[in-house]
Amino acid sequence: MLSRRHLRIRVMQALYAFYQSEPKDIRRTEQELLNGTDKIYELYLTQLQFLLELAHQEEMYYKDTPASMVTGIRKTAAYTLKSLAFIQWLENDKTFNDLIKKKKITWQQDNDSVKKAFHHLKNQEAYKTFVQSESHTADEEVTALKWIMKEFFSKTEFIPHVLEEKNIYWAESIELVEGIVIKTCENGKGTNNYHLLPLYKDAEDDVLFMQDLVQKTIRDDSYFHQLIADKTKNWDAERIAMVDIILMKMALCEIMNLSTIPVKVSINEYIDISKDYSTPNSKSFINGVIDKLVIELKKEGKIQKIGRGLKE
């Protein structure tokens, strides 16, 4: 569910908060990192539950809408959200519904937002076309769900705003979880063999990765800071974005302490993250500094990789 890139971003955010805080508490930072990451799973369940609530609003709309004063005809739909195999699975899956109850996930207090969402949906031409068709292929169902997810979690602001108010940890993860919900839809396409995705690919290994990265970056902060300072003497310290400094420290930590990850993978990962979270010049800046440091650290024997294909 969460890739290593997502885990690195979570650590970067935790370190940013750590460096900004007073007093600095490593244990608190680590605990908030893990708690915040766990909350992503609740966001996943909440987005899935939103689809059910949207389907319910649609059902009530067609059920309660009176006949037209002009034609005497009630509004009907040949195909509704509740007709989708994925929505039917959500409605009946015991594991999903047990988790919803256990974690007390509800949209009840935000019912007006759900109503607003359906009002927005029913006025879209894509939705009107969807409900006029009497049947849909598995691919068409997934396409419809993808469109709905993007319509409410990427294009409009009111549903993400509701989610951010529900939990402060969710703001940076809404788009990520949108993709995971879509992947859940795609996994059972055509077979109706849907299942909830886990939070981690390997829970023990991924949690350890985050703990090592945050602990060792903080532990060796002064050393990494000096390494970076030596390579940026011609730069005004105030002009270097704080996120760039954190990403370079994380890269050095990973390169020097996490022996099973190839150097090039670490460098590329942090360069990619800088594209989304820092300045337009960060990519080339971070690449230049880390490349020079890696050459020196290798000469000094301070980079040791283990495993097939990692030794240089």
What is the average pLDDT value for the chain, to the nearest integer? Answer: 90
Residues 224 and 143 both lie in one domain: no
Residue 90, domain member (yes or no) = yes
Residue 307, domain member (yes or no) = no
Residue 58's nearest CA partner among 131, 159, 108 is 131
Instruction: Identify the weakest region by mean pLDDT among 53-57, 59-63, 212-216, 280-284.
Output: 59-63
Q: What is the pLDDT, as a whole number, of residue 146?
A: 93
Residues 15 and 67 both lie in one domain: yes
Residues 224 and 181 both lie in one domain: no
pLDDT per residue as tens digits for the range 98-143: 999 999 999 999 999 999 999 999 999 999 898 888 888 999 999 9
Residue 113, domain member (yes or no) = yes
Residues 159 and 38 both lie in one domain: yes
Residues 48 and 177 both lie in one domain: yes
Residue owning tokens 């607003």: 116
> What share of the chain has pLDDT > 90, as a percent?
75
Residue 194, domain member (yes or no) = no
List the CATH number of the domain containing 275: 1.10.940.10
> What share of the chain has pLDDT > 70, as a percent?
93
Mean pLDDT of all residues in 91-95 = 96
Residues 99 and 172 both lie in one domain: yes
Domain count, the chain: 2
Residues 248 and 162 both lie in one domain: no
Q: What is the pLDDT, as a whole number, of residue 309?
A: 47
Residues 124 and 252 both lie in one domain: no
Using CA atoms, how far apart are residues 238 and 243, in angstroms rounded to an integer?
12
Select, from the ranges 52-56, 174-178, 185-189, the one with the highest average predicted confidence (pLDDT): 52-56
Residue 264, domain member (yes or no) = yes
pLDDT per residue as tens digits for the range 266-294: 999 999 999 999 988 899 999 999 999 99
Could you list the residue range(s) of the whole structural domain that residue 25 is in?
Answer: 4-187
